[in-house]
Structure 1
């Protein structure tokens, strides 16, 4: 995405237009998929010219990446911290169940599941979609990995590969729940999500205490 300096008098207008474009693109991608969505359709739905769309995004794959990022990423505060992740300031026994609930609530949301279906359906024809999607998803693992690395010394953990441990936690969280929701078998309710987060936390803490990394 192209950007403008904060002191640019058109910056706020540009941001509003960008938001409109991303929102219109999300609805279009979810409605007809990546392959069948044109930039002209997105421009029309957003109420902007095609030239404006390309002023913000170099192409459809970059716009799709922005849609994924907007739908799936936690917003960042002024210092780069993830402002809506209160668990980051808590000790592990409190933070990890909270992190698990947050992760599952996001990844099992109708919007994220629908975007994942778009990626898996159209990636064979548009191989750039997979890396775009994975890049955004890896942000979550990175946040958790940094958290584990930060607490390792005070907790007495030996964590040679924090990202690997974070990925393990994510895998334990999503086991069977994600597939069930993705395939429309069922969507876990809040109680089941909380129970899975507690169970995965217990498993992860056991691994961390054992020194497995």
Structure 2
């Protein structure tokens, strides 16, 4: 979605309108499906004009992608404070934090509802699968890769290798539990989520050690 610069006087107003648009779109997609959701009706539910909506997104695909982004990468003061605090810890602790956070987001109710929309409408709109995968998985891989590129242990690692170990990290966090959640069955316990995150973190660190890159304990 389009953004004003942070110091622009209309930034807060536009941020509130953006949040209202995304919230209305999420409700519409979950309630009416992708095909049944119209841009004009979403604008009405958000309390904005259709012109305002199109200042933020150009197409319904852009809006769907923004909804997925919001579900997988929520931003609020409390969450930002937790992330900022976690990023000051040793790499092993940071990876554990990311692993737990990713699992909570990927299995959260908002994400689950949106995935069900994608699965229902894939036959008519196959491109939704790629939109969802990019927002749910690739965005996390890219953010971890960007973070690892700033770490002393991995900053000079070949980009392809660094991205692969990040991809493998997230792959270890996804399992049969995710199908249970999609089917409306019981979600994994907090202990199970943490254990899976610990294993994924340990495996990534082991990859670094095999590459001769012993993880440090300094702050990033």
Q: Shared topology, TM-score over 0.5?
A: yes
Q: Cα–Cα, structure 1 residues 115 and 148, in superposed 2: closer, same or farther, change >3 Å?
A: same
Indicate the residue corresponding to 1:131 in structure 2. Answer: 130
SS of residue matched to 1:209 = helix
Q: 1:180 to 1:204 in 2, by over 3 A?
A: farther
Work out whether residues 169 and 200 of structure 1, in 8 Å CA contact, stay in contact via their aligned partners in 2: yes
Residue in structure 2 matched with residue 67 of structure 1 by the alignment: 67
Structure 2 spans left out of the alignment, 5+ residues = 213-220
The corresponding residue for 2:110 is 111
Q: Could you tell me how far 1:177 is from its partner in structure 2?
A: 2.2
Q: Which residue does 2:93 correspond to in 1?
A: 94
Q: When the two structures are superposed, what TM-score results if normalisation uses the length of structure 2?
A: 0.79
Once residues 37 and 159 of structure 2 are traced to their aligned partners in structure 1, the CA distance between those partners, rounded to angstroms, is 44
Report the RMSD for the aligned CA atoms in angstroms: 3.1
Could you list the runs of 4 or more consecutive aligned residues of structure 1 that deviate by over 6 angstroms after TM superposition? none
- Which stretch shows the higher mean deviation, 63-72 or 199-208? 199-208
For residues 146 and 104 of structure 1, what CA distance do their matches in structure 2 show? 20
TM-score, reference length from structure 1: 0.81
The count of residues paired between Structure 1 and Structure 2 equals: 208
Q: 1:101 to 1:45 in 2, by over 3 A?
A: same
Q: Which has the higher contact order (CA 8 A, sep 6+)?
A: 2
In structure 1, distance between residues paired with 2:81 and 2:142? 15
Give the match for residue 164 of structure 1. Answer: 164
1:139 CA displacement: 2.2
Question: Aligned-pair distance for 1:180?
Answer: 2.1
Task: Write out per-residue CA displacement over residues 34-87 of structure 1, whole angstroms, 9 at most, x where no aligned residue.
Answer: 11111122122112233332233222111111111122125499xxxx765243
Q: What residue is the counterpart of 1:145 in the other structure?
A: 145
